Amino acid sequence: MLNELLNRYPILYGCRAEIENAAKAIIDCYEKGGKLLLCGNGGSCADCEHIVGELMKGFLKKRPLCESKRADMKIRCDLVDDELLSKLQGGLPAIAIPSITALNSAFCNDVDPELVYAQPLMALAKENDILIGISTSGNSKNVFGAVKVAKALGIKVIGLTGKTGGKLKESADICICAPETETFKIQELHLPIYHYICAQVEKYFFS
């Protein structure tokens, strides 16, 4: 599947190792009971939501609940029937930090907007979690604030950025630097990168 991605987007060939390593790190995170926390601004904020959507429900696969899960849920709650259970799908936990709007707006107003993503991370991050920081420049101050806190908490960081990488490249454990310099061109490459990663993670857990 990676070869298909690189055939369609040969410009990404130089990112091959980082893309593979990011997928493996996320699989390991979920294997150990962790979750993904994501942050970014503007189009990158929308990308956070997009990634969460691909992980929390079926992406390329239907992800029906297994029989043991269905049976356990029916035992715990007699209001749950087969029709309901047939519509639910397996999900992988992921949180788009920018979506926590009440907290984020309050923290920006009351404390420090540069730490708007660091504060939710402080409250939510647990052992084995991963922070995905998305910044086309690699220098977004609020994203980098979250990165610093993640590193201080011992949380692995995956960066998704542009050609130069900025501070994110220097600090992330894994940094995928889409080889473009203009914002919209970087974002155009981020989409197939994270679609591939989400597909690989889904394939592992829901094959």
> How many CB atoms lie under 10 A from the CB of residue 110?
7
Which two tokens mark 112?
């420090």
> How many CB atoms lie under 10 A from the CB of residue 183?
14
Q: Is the pLDDT of residue 154 over 90?
A: yes
Q: What is the pTM of this model?
A: 0.96
Give the pLDDT of residue 191.
Answer: 98
pLDDT digits (tens, 9 = 90+) for 26-78: 999 999 999 999 999 999 999 999 999 999 999 999 999 999 999 999 999 99
- Enumerate the β-bridge partners of residue 175: 159
Structural domains of the chain, count? 1
Cβ pair 138, 168 in contact under 8 A: yes
In a domain, residue 169? The reply is yes
CATH, residue 189: 3.40.50.10490
Mean pLDDT, range 154-166, rounded to an integer: 97
In a domain, residue 106? The reply is yes
In a domain, residue 30? The reply is yes
Cβ pair 146, 97 in contact under 8 A: yes
In a domain, residue 74? The reply is no
What is the extent of the structural domain holding 177? Answer: 2-62+91-205
- Give the integer Cα–Cα distance in Å for 70 and 80: 9
pLDDT digits (tens, 9 = 90+) for 172-199: 999 999 999 999 999 999 999 999 999 9
Give the pLDDT of residue 127.
Answer: 95
In a domain, residue 78? The reply is no
Give the pLDDT of residue 149.
Answer: 98
Q: Is the pLDDT of residue 207 over 90?
A: no
In a domain, residue 67? The reply is no
Which two tokens mark 100?
């926590």
pLDDT digits (tens, 9 = 90+) for 83-136: 999 999 999 999 999 999 999 999 999 999 999 999 999 999 999 999 999 999
- Give the integer Cα–Cα distance in Å for 16 and 126: 29
Cβ pair 146, 104 in contact under 8 A: no
- Give the integer Cα–Cα distance in Å for 186 and 27: 25
